[in-house]
Amino acid sequence: MQQDWATHMIGHELTAFTGLDHAQTLAIVLPALLKHQRAVKRAKLLQYADRVWNLRDGDAEARISAAIDKTEVFFRAVGVKTRLNDYGIDAAAAASLADRIAARFTERGTVLGEAQDLTPAAVATIVRASA
């Protein structure tokens, strides 16, 4: 059974560098990761849209976008912010974090995702998109 712990692994790195708790980092990383991986995770995202958010109308891309949006709205509704900027980490600081996290994954030889397609460069892109 394939599993994807990328959000958690990136979240751990953000916690190490920023002191944000794990719930905060998951809420920050997950939406950006899902947007980045929407083609690879298309089937799972459609299943998620249907089973979690009851999204059945409209085309597939619209349902995927709506599911990701609803995820962010949910996190905010329970008091968890979804952007690094919400925690005072601006785009420049996020870019620096992205580079540092990518460097650590490179040093460890870490590639993430159920398809092993999230390279350190892809992780940096996701972190930057989380700003």
Q: What does the pLDDT read at residue 3?
A: 82
Average pLDDT over residues 115-123: 94
Question: Would you say residue 2 has pLDDT above 80?
Answer: no
**Burial track 77-103 (b if 16+ CB lie within 10 A, e otherwise):** eeebebbbeeeebeeebbeebbeebbe
pTM of the predicted structure, to 2 decimals: 0.95
Q: What does the pLDDT read at residue 69?
A: 98
Question: Would you say residue 1 has pLDDT above 70?
Answer: no
pLDDT in tens, 64-73: 999 999 999 9
Tokens of 10: 């990136």
Residue 94 · residue 128 · CB < 8 Å: yes
Question: Would you say residue 45 has pLDDT above 80?
Answer: yes
Q: Which amino acid is at 117?
A: D
**CATH classification (class only), 6-129:** mainly alpha
Q: What does the pLDDT read at residue 114?
A: 86
pLDDT in tens, 82-92: 999 999 999 99
Q: Which amino acid is at 22?
A: H
Tokens of 21: 């708790």
